[in-house]
Structure 1
Amino acid sequence: MSIIDFISMALFIATIIYISLKQIETFKIKLLVSIPFIILIFLFSRSFVLLPIYIYSLIAATYLYTIFFYIPFAIDFILILISSLDHMATLKLLLISISVPMLMSMFLDKNMKKYGLENEEHKGKDIKRESYRDYFQIGTGIITILVFVFFGHFGKVIILYSVLLIYLFGNILYLHKDYRITNLVYRMERENTKLGLGSMYLASGFLLVMGFIGSIKVLYVAAFLIMVGDSLATIIGMRLRTPRLVYNNKKSVGGFLAMCIPSFIFGVFFIFYVPAIFYSVFATFAESISNKIADDNITIPVSIIIAHFILAVA
């Protein structure tokens, strides 16, 4: 065992012991659900390096929107930086070790689930504010695609650190509502929802997609679906009166087609027709049932990963 492995193992075990003794009620369910993920990450990496990254990502996500966020985030950031610079772990496993605990915490934490439900309930109610959000998200999608176009696989590293900065600044702005920039950002937030919550879900979901999908061309399509297609569904769904979906009366046929058709057209420029329509339909269906399951920034990325595995074995 190398010295780095030994230090990582010691840090991981010490942290587990500490939160088990001091904050077991907060982390009990999350730790239990994390066990299979931690085992798989260790088995695939054959190293302890990623385990403290996993646990500190979980702790940081748990304490999002509080002053207790900064210390675990700082430790996590340093560990991620060391790991990514020294190539001690594959980038795919590193991305999974960061995104899985982030999404898990958001999904399992009672407060975060409440914030997510409030966010979904106010979706589309304020057309002007929703438009700001969607245009910004479309712009983010275009920038993300361009990052891959110009930097290729290194674009994953750029996006990783961009996501970490989103988490940091989201927490800073939430705790300092008197900042001028905070008021500007709040103009793009839905009423009575946490600052940047949707962006953080989206960012974590896209990290998860990058962790499971290696093809840059498929990542073009994934970025379009998650950031552009989803926004088009909201924009058209708000503005056009079209029939409601049979299986979900809160979603419209117009919104479904507004996401599915442009995503398919974009996809055929980079991948074959069949995969393009498969990804588009699968992800659009996931978006159309998101209010019944989870935030669409979780359901869409997960659906893309599932579709990718189905196509890989077909």
Structure 2
Amino acid sequence: MELFNFAYLAVFIIAVSYILIKNRETFLIKILVSIPIMVGLVYFSGSFFVLPVYLFSMIVSTYLYTVFFYFPFAVDFVLIILSIFGNFVPVRFVFASISISILLSMFLDKNMRKYDVTNNENKGKDIQRETSRDYFQISTGVITIAIFALDGIKGRILILLAILLIYLGGNILYLNNRNRLADLVYMMERKDTKLGLGSMYLAAGFLFVLSFTRSLQLIYISAFLIMIGDSLATIIGMKIRSRKLFYNRRKSMAGFLGMLIPSFLFGLFFFVYFISAFYAIGGTFAESISNKIADDNITIPVSIVIIHFIISMV
């Protein structure tokens, strides 16, 4: 075990040195911002295994939509499989390493921020395409909840493998977009938006929540808020004309209530009413401020984790 532990540390040191020599401008800020996060991951996990997983997940998200994506993805995939099935480190720390690295990297990357701004600016402009996109996201949420209902907490591994395939498939289809499958996927994307960008943010956001809990009840409400509630807000906000929110003129009261009420009712299956209300209000508010701060696939998961910690301390 110790041999593998130090082997992972050696891989991390070599990889950091290489990327800072080859592409210092792109990675320096990301590495510096990540230092306290990586220190925390090592401290709480008690292992160096998390370091190369974190680093290669960062490299993968940086090189998304390029041919340079594939090699770091292959290395990251092997490291993740070894970490999980070799029982080198608790699964939640692998999830945290992947999700935090990807979300932080995409947030700090100016190109990804530009893609995300374009994605949010075009939200709701094409009602037919947006509706198809949101119905697909709702079905994804239903399938995710069903996986955990059938397989329990072990469903985390299946979800992780599916997310890794989403990243791989998105990159392949973007670089090889002259086929029917790519055409079908593009039909559900917003105009001038990178293929699968929203799905990749969503996947990383859900992984972020999974890294903080083993509670199936919390996983169920998280999947509903991130995948179903968010989509309901968009669909209802487009189809029902209502007053705009005073703190975000791009969001409407109809969309706010369209997410809040179903999320609260769904939460009642697993929590007492005031805890269900806490998650529903927090998640809905996080969605409603998303254009002002960051993508809703970041703000909603972060709000869920914050609420989880608040409730745990009460």
Q: In the aligned structure 2, how far is the partner of 1:179 from the partner of 1:76? A: 28
SS of match in other structure, 1:298: helix
Q: In the aligned structure 2, how far is the partner of 1:163 from the partner of 1:271? A: 28
Tell me the amino acid that sits aligned with residue 82 of structure 1. L
Q: CA deviation at 1:113?
A: 0.2
| RMSD between aligned residues | 0.8
Q: CA deviation at 1:266?
A: 0.3
Residues 190-231 of structure 1: per-residue CA shift (max 9 Å, x gap)? 000000000000000000000012211111000000000000
Partner of 1:228: 228
Residues 114-163 of structure 1: per-residue CA shift (max 9 Å, x gap)? 00000000000000000111000000000000011001110111101100
Partner of 1:253: 253
Partner of 1:159: 159
Partner of 1:63: 63
Partner of 1:198: 198
Tell me the amino acid that sits aligned with residue 228 of structure 2. V
- TM-score for the superposition, normalised by structure 2: 0.99
Structure 1 stretches of 4+ with a deviation exceeding 2 A read none
Q: In the aligned structure 2, how far is the partner of 1:285 from the partner of 1:222? A: 14
Partner of 1:75: 75
Q: CA deviation at 1:246?
A: 1.4
Tell me the amino acid that sits aligned with residue 24 of structure 2. I
Q: In the aligned structure 2, how far is the partner of 1:76 from the partner of 1:130? A: 33
Runs of 5+ in structure 2 lacking a partner? none
Q: In the aligned structure 1, how far is the partner of 2:182 from the partner of 2:232? A: 26
Answering whether residue 212 of structure 2 is matched by residue 212 of structure 1, we say yes
Partner of 1:281: 281
Tell me the amino acid that sits aligned with residue 108 of structure 2. L
Residues 260-292 of structure 1: per-residue CA shift (max 9 Å, x gap)? 000000000111111110000001001001011
SS of match in other structure, 1:212: coil
Answering whether residue 242 of structure 2 is matched by residue 239 of structure 1, we say no
SS of match in other structure, 2:14: helix
Moved more, 12-21 or 200-209: 12-21
Partner of 2:146: 146
Q: In the aligned structure 2, how far is the partner of 1:136 from the partner of 1:89? A: 34
Q: In the aligned structure 1, how far is the partner of 2:254 from the partner of 2:275? A: 23
Residues 90-116 of structure 1: per-residue CA shift (max 9 Å, x gap)? 011110011111101110000000000
Runs of 5+ in structure 1 lacking a partner? none
Check whether the contact 1:218–1:271 (CA below 8 A) recurs between aligned residues.
no
Partner of 1:307: 307
Tell me the amino acid that sits aligned with residue 197 of structure 2. L
- TM-score for the superposition, normalised by structure 1: 0.99
Q: In the aligned structure 1, how far is the partner of 2:218 from the partner of 2:10? A: 38
Partner of 2:16: 16
